[in-house]
């Protein structure tokens, strides 16, 4: 499969790049540490995770009803709601709104759904300039790169690399590698754009059905600027972001910020209920909510895989993943990288396209251990490995059965016969132990960095008999 080759190539390149290795390792170590300090009591953390899981699972169990309720309440509040089954539809909804206002500039807060839509690219083809206002997104937009992490999009670059980039792109600003000065410079550039852009776009962290409230978590204030300064605000989000009650929010917020960056709360937390009301002096005159499906309702139909949709996009699974920490986000080649990406993206794009991502894990379980909504990621990785190889037609997952290769399937069949037929197994083991001197010293990829293991002189089966640990 081409994508396997691509993934292998990209991880090969990442592994060979000492700068990438160092940037990710130190950033991930820092984030792991911060999260740990944010949850000092194990028992309290477990309680909170249970609660988070319950809230999201509850919302998913009544997803269609909650979405209808969300729409009803948003409309009541004056927010215009749009439904998009595909990214094409979502992109056209945004374009139509832009065109209606004759808008040629869009200022954006951080939104992974807009990345999923490849919105910037789409709008630029239609003559609209998109400007990312989140600092990390702003940095990578300068070099036309994709985010390498869902909450820290430019984490693959260090301070000096950013300083060099700013110096190239903004030669009129004196060189600095001081983080605060660089941030101030970026803010100055962006501030002007906020006044110019007629439309602002943001994501949504939680959408509350009972009140029609859109919650937006951020640290830089750019999200609030996007949602309040331009005349029009468009919020784009996936349908799985809906929760039932306003009282669900404190638990999820507590889990999200602590799991993501170790912060007890972010600098800004926005709750958007309505456009500017008469008599109010600021705020957008129009607020739009675009609800994107793009394969989510298919995931929703599977009783086990549905838990994928609980994700609140904190990034803790990638921070703690030993594979992600070494290859970084770009190697995955998907919008969402890391463990959650390896279960979510193949379900969305199909196992025929991304069926090998679920194999990019040792199933070490570090992701599930930290997930704030207790998504059993290793279990779902295992399930997708099964779906990829299954032979029957009942699989509900897109591309199920597409990865089955007769060579591999035959090997497993032989493996089965050997291990389900004890006399055969014992003879096999006896032969291998007696011929251990003839074992090859090169065992393909295994011996690229290891010596081949040494077969014992006598198997445990034999030794157990000799020591009198018999059959009953």
Partner 1 sequence: MINNKRVYPDKPTKVYFFGTCLVDLLYPEAGVDGMRLIAREGVKVIYPQNQTCCGQPAWNSGYREQARAVARQQMSCFPNNHPIIVPSGSCAGMMRYHYPELFKGEREETTVQAFAQRIFELTEFLVHVLKINRQDLGKPIKVALHTSCSARREMGVAEEHERLLAQLENVEIAQHMRKEECCGFGGTFAIKHPEISAAMVEEKSDALLQENPERVISGDCGCLMNITGHLKQRESRLRGQHIASFLWERTNATDS
Q: Which of residues 13-42 bind partner 1 (CB under 8 A)?
A: 15, 21
- 142 versus 455: smaller Cβ distance to partner 1: 455
**Least distance in Å: CB of 352 to partner 1?**
15
* Residue 415 sits in the site that holds partner 1 (CB under 8 A): yes
Site string for partner 1, 306-345 (x = CB under 8 A): ----------------xx--xx------------------
From the list 8, 143, 277, 297, which residue makes contact with partner 1 (rule: CB under 8 A)?
8
Q: Are 216 and 201 in contact (CB under 8 A)?
A: no
Closest to 94 in 3D by CA, of 289, 320, 277, 328 = 289
Residue 52's alpha-carbon distances to 203, 241, 466, in angstroms, are 21, 13, 54
The DSSP call for residue 391 is: -
**Least distance in Å: CB of 159 to partner 1?**
24
- Interface size with partner 1, residues (CB under 8 A): 74
Structure tokens, 195: 């006044």
* Residue 172 sits in the site that holds partner 1 (CB under 8 A): no
Q: Are 333 and 7 in contact (CB under 8 A)?
A: yes
**Least distance in Å: CB of 362 to partner 1?**
3
Name residues contacting partner 1, limited to 39-78 (CB under 8 A): 46
- 4 versus 228: smaller Cβ distance to partner 1: 4
- HSE toward the beta carbon, residue 214, CA cutoff 13 A: 32
* Residue 156 sits in the site that holds partner 1 (CB under 8 A): no
From the list 426, 431, 434, 435, which residue makes contact with partner 1 (rule: CB under 8 A)?
426
Name residues contacting partner 1, limited to 240-299 (CB under 8 A): none
Q: Hey, what's the torsion of the CAs at 108, 112, 116, 120, to 10 degrees?
A: 20
- 135 versus 327: smaller Cβ distance to partner 1: 327
Q: Hey, what's the torsion of the CAs at 205, 206, 212, 213, to 10 degrees?
A: -60
Q: Are 338 and 329 in contact (CB under 8 A)?
A: yes
From the list 64, 412, 431, 434, which residue makes contact with partner 1 (rule: CB under 8 A)?
412
Q: Dihedral sign for Cα 383, 385, 388, 393, please.
A: negative
- 149 versus 296: smaller Cβ distance to partner 1: 149
Distance between CA atoms of residues 385 and 47, nearest Å: 31
- 123 versus 375: smaller Cβ distance to partner 1: 375
**Least distance in Å: CB of 60 to partner 1?**
21
Q: Are 9 and 333 in contact (CB under 8 A)?
A: no
* Residue 467 sits in the site that holds partner 1 (CB under 8 A): yes
Closest to 240 in 3D by CA, of 155, 348, 342 = 348
Closest to 197 in 3D by CA, of 233, 167, 224, 221 = 233
From the list 413, 431, 434, 435, which residue makes contact with partner 1 (rule: CB under 8 A)?
413
* Residue 448 sits in the site that holds partner 1 (CB under 8 A): yes
**Least distance in Å: CB of 307 to partner 1?**
13
* Helices vs strands, H then E, count in the chain: 22, 10
* Residue 429 sits in the site that holds partner 1 (CB under 8 A): yes
Closest to 216 in 3D by CA, of 225, 226, 203, 229 = 203
- 76 versus 436: smaller Cβ distance to partner 1: 436
**Least distance in Å: CB of 337 to partner 1?**
14
Site string for partner 1, 175-214 (x = CB under 8 A): ----------------------------------------
Q: Are 393 and 420 in contact (CB under 8 A)?
A: no
Distance between CA atoms of residues 350 and 348, nearest Å: 6
* Residue 455 sits in the site that holds partner 1 (CB under 8 A): yes
- 281 versus 471: smaller Cβ distance to partner 1: 471
* Residue 102 sits in the site that holds partner 1 (CB under 8 A): no
Angle at 349 between CA 234 and CA 293, to 5 degrees: 35
**Least distance in Å: CB of 391 to partner 1?**
8
* Residue 438 sits in the site that holds partner 1 (CB under 8 A): no
**Least distance in Å: CB of 266 to partner 1?**
27
**Least distance in Å: CB of 137 to partner 1?**
27
Name residues contacting partner 1, limited to 339-398 (CB under 8 A): 356, 359-366, 368-369, 376, 378-379, 382, 384-390
* Residue 3 sits in the site that holds partner 1 (CB under 8 A): no
**Least distance in Å: CB of 416 to partner 1?**
4
From the list 161, 318, 422, 435, which residue makes contact with partner 1 (rule: CB under 8 A)?
422
Distance between CA atoms of residues 197 and 105, nearest Å: 5
Distance between CA atoms of residues 5 and 44, nearest Å: 44
- HSE toward the beta carbon, residue 391, CA cutoff 13 A: 3
- 12 versus 184: smaller Cβ distance to partner 1: 12
């Amino acid at each position: 499969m081409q994508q396997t080759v691509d993934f292998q190539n990209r991880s090969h390149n990442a592994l060979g790049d000492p700068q990438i290795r160092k940037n990710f390792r130190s950033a991930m170590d820092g984030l792991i540490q911060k999260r740990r300090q944010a949850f000092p009591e194990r028992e309290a953390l477990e309680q909170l995770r249970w609660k988070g899981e319950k809230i999201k699972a509850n919302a998913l169990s009544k997803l269609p009803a909650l979405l209808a309720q969300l729409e009803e309440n948003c409309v009541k509040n004056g927010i215009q709601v749009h439904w998009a089954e595909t990214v094409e539809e979502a992109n056209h909804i945004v374009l139509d709104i832009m065109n209606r206002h004759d808008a040629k500039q869009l200022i954006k807060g951080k939104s992974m759904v807009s990345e999923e839509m490849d919105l910037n690219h789409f709008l630029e083809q239609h003559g609209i300039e998109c400007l990312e206002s989140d600092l990390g997104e702003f940095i990578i937009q300068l070099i036309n790169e994709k985010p390498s992490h869902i909450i820290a999009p430019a984490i693959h670059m260090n301070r000096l690399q950013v300083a060099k980039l700013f110096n190239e792109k903004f030669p009129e600003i004196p060189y600095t590698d001081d983080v605060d000065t660089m941030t101030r410079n970026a803010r100055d550039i962006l501030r002007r754009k906020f006044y110019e852009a007629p439309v602002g776009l943001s994501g949504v962290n939680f959408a509350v059905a009972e009140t029609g409230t859109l919650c937006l978590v951020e640290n830089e204030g750019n999200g609030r600027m996007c949602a309040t300064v331009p005349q029009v605000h468009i919020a784009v989000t996936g349908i799985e972001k809906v929760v039932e009650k306003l009282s669900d929010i404190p638990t999820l917020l507590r889990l999200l910020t602590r799991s993501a960056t170790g912060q007890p709360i972010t600098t800004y937390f926005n709750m958007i209920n309505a456009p500017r009301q008469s008599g109010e002096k600021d705020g957008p005159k129009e607020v739009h909510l675009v609800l994107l499906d793009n394969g989510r309702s298919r995931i929703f139909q599977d009783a086990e895989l549905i838990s994928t949709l609980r994700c609140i996009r904190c990034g803790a699974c990638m921070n703690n993943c030993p594979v992600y920490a070494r290859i970084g986000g770009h190697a995955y080649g998907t919008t969402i990288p890391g463990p959650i990406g390896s279960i979510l993206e193949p379900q969305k794009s199909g196992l025929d396209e991304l069926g090998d991502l679920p194999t990019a894990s040792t199933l070490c379980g570090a992701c599930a251990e930290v997930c704030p909504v207790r998504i059993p990621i290793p279990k779902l990785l295992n399930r997708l490995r099964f779906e990829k190889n299954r032979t029957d037609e009942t699989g509900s997952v897109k591309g199920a059965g597409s990865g089955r290769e007769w060579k591999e399937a035959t090997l497993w069949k032989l493996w089965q016969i050997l291990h389900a037929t004890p006399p055969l197994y014992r003879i096999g083991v006896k032969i291998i132990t007696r011929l251990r001197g003839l074992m090859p010293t090169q065992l393909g990829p295994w011996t690229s960095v290891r010596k081949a293991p040494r077969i014992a002189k006598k198997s445990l089966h034999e030794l157990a008999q000799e020591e009198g640990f018999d059959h009953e």
